[in-house]
Structure 1
Amino acid sequence: MKWKVLFFSLLGINSLVMALLLFYMFQSSPSPYISNVNVEGPTFTVQTSKQHLNALVNDYIQKHEKKGGLSYNVQLADRLYITSAIPIFGKPVDLTMAFNPKVDENGHVVLAHPTMTFGQLRLPVPYVLTYINKHASLPNWVKIDAKHERIYIVVSNIRIKEGLVLKAKTFDLNKNDITFTVTITK
């Protein structure tokens, strides 16, 4: 009889711990505050292609990748794809996130309408974005809005050189039309 009480007590404690872990992991995060940057100065337009931007983004990722961290790849095709492989029981399982990029009125790139798969399993987007927002080491120019299932790339916060401010103008993957403005502030 005593073992039954101990068994059910242990089962209750384990259930409580699992419920608390799930609650903590999937607790929603507030929408990010994204400021609008208005800068004045000479402005130039820079146009690029998917191939050139793929090379630039993946070079940046390789240079800033942390040792022992999760490695991933960004690919611009018909959509923006972020792919990685996570080892499960010694075998890699593909993690794929796909987004439709667009430019908002402030010159930020908005990654919207996401789909996320882990192997063949489709994942719930808000929970994954909340988890990434809380546990991933993201640059300050990447803002995640899990509630609205969006990721904002605040292009004006990307520091390429002091005195230069970037803004996205167009980001049409179907037409291979990717345009940025560069403003010299000094």
Structure 2
Amino acid sequence: MKKGWKLAFLGLLALNGIIVLLLAIGLFSPIQDETLPKVDAQEEAVEFQVKSNKEDLNKVIKMFVEKEKAKSFVDYNVYLRDQVELYGDVAVFSERIDYKLTFEPEALKNGNVVLRQKGIKVGKINLPVSYVLKAARDAYQFPDWVKIMPNDEMIYLSLDKMELKSNLKVRADRIDLKKDDIRFTLQLPVDQD
């Protein structure tokens, strides 16, 4: 009887050691970043200038997020306030841990957007930003035009790759959330037959 108990204890101890080892390997393995996508050459298009605000853009973002969340097993939300805020939770063993990431948006000259990570809260624990972004990238099903770049602590939004109806393309011209000044150019391709 004593020998069986000792074997069961050693087996449980070995299992715990393997779990800790796998977690350590996952946490300390290098993070592979993707390269920034190249911007495709623009075809001839008619352009429309659009000025928006956080309230209206939050409605559009909610529509996109709800569509993407339907394909995923996790729950997350994105809001525009004075910064871009990403809320969600992640399963750790049998518990759900809340997190909040904040980003400063920047409209690039090529019309795409970079979200530079500014703050992070994961439960009551401070974790390295790169690990949290890597976990988000690996856990969530983001659209192809959203690139999570943990090593650079940013998210790259390739608006030129975003698929919209009527082949409409979007270029970000200005994003100033503090002044609620958000400007885009909508490009509608015209056929030259």
Deviation at 1:138, TM superposition (A): 0.8
Contact 2:72 2:141 (8 Å CA) reproduced: no
Gaps of 5+ in 1: none
Structure-2 change in CA distance of 1:8 and 1:120 (3 Å): same
Q: Indicate the residue corresponding to 2:41 in structure 1.
A: 38
Contact 1:26 1:130 in 2 (8 A): no
Q: 2:82 aligns with which of 78, 82, 94?
A: 78
Tell me which moved more, 142-151 or 125-134.
Answer: 125-134
Q: Deviation at 1:24?
A: 3.2
- Between stretches 136-145 and 155-164, larger displacement belongs to 155-164
- In 1: Cα distance, 2:176 partner to 2:142 partner: 25
- CA RMSD between the two structures: 3.0
- SS of 1:144's partner is strand
How far apart are residue 82 of structure 1 and its match?
1.1
Aligned to 1:174: 178
Distance across 1 between alignment mates of 2:97 and 2:133: 19
What is the count of residue pairs matched by the alignment? Answer: 186
Using the TM superposition, give the Cα deviation of residue 128 of structure 1 relative to its aligned residue in structure 2, in angstroms: 1.1
Q: 2: CA distance between counterparts of 1:131 and 1:85?
A: 11
Q: 1:47 aligns with which of 51, 60, 74?
A: 51
Say whether residues 1:120 and 2:124 are aligned partners.
Answer: yes
Alignment of 1:133-148 (within 5 A): 133-148=137-152
Please give the TM-score of this superposition, normalised by the length of structure 2. Answer: 0.80
- CA distance in 2 between partners of 1:163 and 1:102 (Å): 24
Structure with the largest fraction of helix: 2
Letter in 1 for 2:17: S
Structure 2 gap ranges (5+): none
Change (3 A) 1:89 1:133: closer
> Which among 13, 17, 20 is matched to residue 18 of structure 1?
20
Deviates more, 1:10-19 or 1:174-183: 10-19
Change (3 A) 1:161 1:102: same
User: Distance between the aligned counterparts of 2:132 and 2:93, measured in 1?
Assistant: 21
Counterparts of 1:85 and 1:111 in 2: how far apart (Å)?
20
Contact preservation (8 Å) 2:51, 2:182: yes
Supply the distance in 2 between the matched residues of 1:84 and 1:132 (Cα, whole angstroms).
10
Residue deviations 1:4-31 (CA, integer Å, cap 9, x gap): 8996786466434432343235530123
Indicate the residue corresponding to 2:99 in structure 1.
95
Q: Which amino acid aligns with 1:162?
A: S
> TM-score, normalised to structure 1's length?
0.83
CA distance in 2, matches of 1:111, 1:87: 25
